[in-house]
Structure 1
């Protein structure tokens, strides 16, 4: 049975899973969430209606990181995204959590604030989110001073997270020139064929970015 992914190409968390699928050339059916039928199917599978959601025969798998873990367990390919060594795997999972919690979360807080009616916006919360992003960039700049990929020399789950989250974070709160290692890492991610494909597939939707997509990348 073909894997079925409920997702939208412009979503950062969906891109995280798409990168993993593309890295190992796994065949799947994309149920693109741009129509009522796909949305109804998603709601029946997962009442919280968060995506991506993967359907693999009788299994329904939620949450991007767990989907990637599931793919490695049940559909392994030549690119191992979570190391076999438990210590190395712990480093990968730690970096994955870092990108989810300290890059994606504050970035999305800024974007979602922009979508709110003006009377309900939270400038203090946005300032806190921008400060967190600068702190995260600074910490990551030190980490990436001696690494090619997030957890070392091998592309991993952590890079699947870093690619879309740093991509949109730089649009939302620019990565300052003083964080040269982070900027260089973001460029390496953009050059990775799996992420380049995800970026190109999302390109038609850039007009929907609430803050206005920059004319680059």
Structure 2
């Protein structure tokens, strides 16, 4: 075993790499670190101080997009389409997925109600774009699981907790998106990308943000106690 993934328990970008390697049937080790107390050895291999970092035979790669491409080039069972045009389009949708994650961070992080509501509208609009892009499924490109699916599995995982807080209508009236979400939720590689206590960890993380969403959580019966 030569692949080692340096991780954070809640990082959606780490989950991408984990899902990719699991789908490829590649053995790897994983070490979670505390990003609030980064060890020196981690800072030595992560110039941006972020997870994930993939180490292969003592050589390290940082940034999830670079890691995914490296895995595609060096490991079996490609998750990118073979057609160059379709492959380039998928790379674009992967970046779209990253922009959705940025909006999700704004959604759960802002203290301002107006900004919060603006983020809700932005997320609704982006998932409406996805609704028009999706076909018959069950995955992004039909029956084949791709890296776009590996990116959106962690995206949808957030909503498993958000749905416990309130109905924000972000995924409402989007049957193709909902079906895609269900297919990814059931995928073993997506399930195994996080620990069993992920929902509780995410709940605690969101509460600590002291954001507008945190206030809605506190208003929920037993909100401080968690799920």
* Short-chain TM bin: 0.7 to 0.9
Between 124-133 and 13-22, the greater mean CA deviation after superposition: 124-133
Show the counterpart of 2:76: 77
Is 1:95–2:93 an aligned residue pair?
Answer: yes
Show the counterpart of 2:7: 7
TM-score normalised by L of structure 2:
0.79
Show the counterpart of 1:54: 54
Deviations 1:175-215 (A, max 9, x none): 44311211111010011110021245435624424055985
Distance (whole Å) between structure 1 residues aligned to residue 115 and residue 36 of structure 2:
33
Where does structure 2 lack aligned partners over 5 or more consecutive residues?
163-167, 207-213, 218-222
- Displacement of 1:170 in angstroms is 5.8
Show the counterpart of 2:210: none
Distance 1:190 1:183, change over 3 A: same
Match of 1:180 among 165, 175, 178: 175
TM-score normalised by L of structure 1:
0.82
Deviations 1:90-116 (A, max 9, x none): 121121111111x21100112222xxx
Show the counterpart of 2:147: 157
Contact 1:9 1:15 in 2 (8 A): no
- Displacement of 1:167 in angstroms is 2.0
Distance (whole Å) between structure 2 residues aligned to residue 135 and residue 40 of structure 1:
41
Distance (whole Å) between structure 2 residues aligned to residue 43 and residue 208 of structure 1:
26
Distance 1:36 1:207, change over 3 A: closer
- Structure 1 segments, 4+ long, off by >4 Å, are 35-38, 211-215
Deviations 1:14-63 (A, max 9, x none): 11111111111211221211499963322121232111111112432111
Distance (whole Å) between structure 2 residues aligned to residue 65 and residue 159 of structure 1:
14
Contact 1:150 1:159 in 2 (8 A): yes
Show the counterpart of 1:111: 108
Quote the RMSD (CA, aligned, Å): 2.5
The 3-state SS of whatever aligns with 1:205 is: helix
Distance 1:175 1:37, change over 3 A: closer
Show the counterpart of 1:117: none
Distance 1:95 1:153, change over 3 A: farther
Distance 1:167 1:82, change over 3 A: same
Where does structure 1 lack aligned partners over 5 or more consecutive residues?
114-120
